[in-house]
Amino acid sequence: MVELKKGRVSDNVVGQIQRYMGYIKDELAEAGQEVKGVIIGLDDDIRIRRALSVTTNIEFYRYKVSFKLFKG
């Protein structure tokens, strides 16, 4: 399960991805199959770090966007 958020990620996204993961485990995964979650956001804060510190199977990644403009 991958959750991509624009901008700063708040701690409520942890509950959101846990609900999605629970659905996948109950309805889509095979018996004994592990469900993992990934949250991707531009930035984080202490609240989401604390929420993630007591969860299992959820990782957080930050992204960086850059681009160049070329004339012609």
Count other Cβ atoms within 10 Å, centred on residue 21.
Answer: 19
Query: Is there a contact between 48 and 60 (Cβ–Cβ < 8 Å)?
Result: yes
47-to-6, 22, 27, 30, 67 alpha-carbon distances in Å = 17, 22, 30, 33, 30
- Count the neighbouring beta carbons within 10 Å of the beta carbon of residue 24: 15
Type of residue found at 9: V
pLDDT digits (tens, 9 = 90+) for 12-61: 999 999 999 999 999 999 999 999 999 999 998 999 999 999 999 999 99
CA count, 13 A, side-chain hemisphere, 57: 13
Q: What is the pLDDT of residue 28?
A: 97
Residue 7 has pLDDT above 90, yes or no: no
Whole-model pTM: value is 0.85
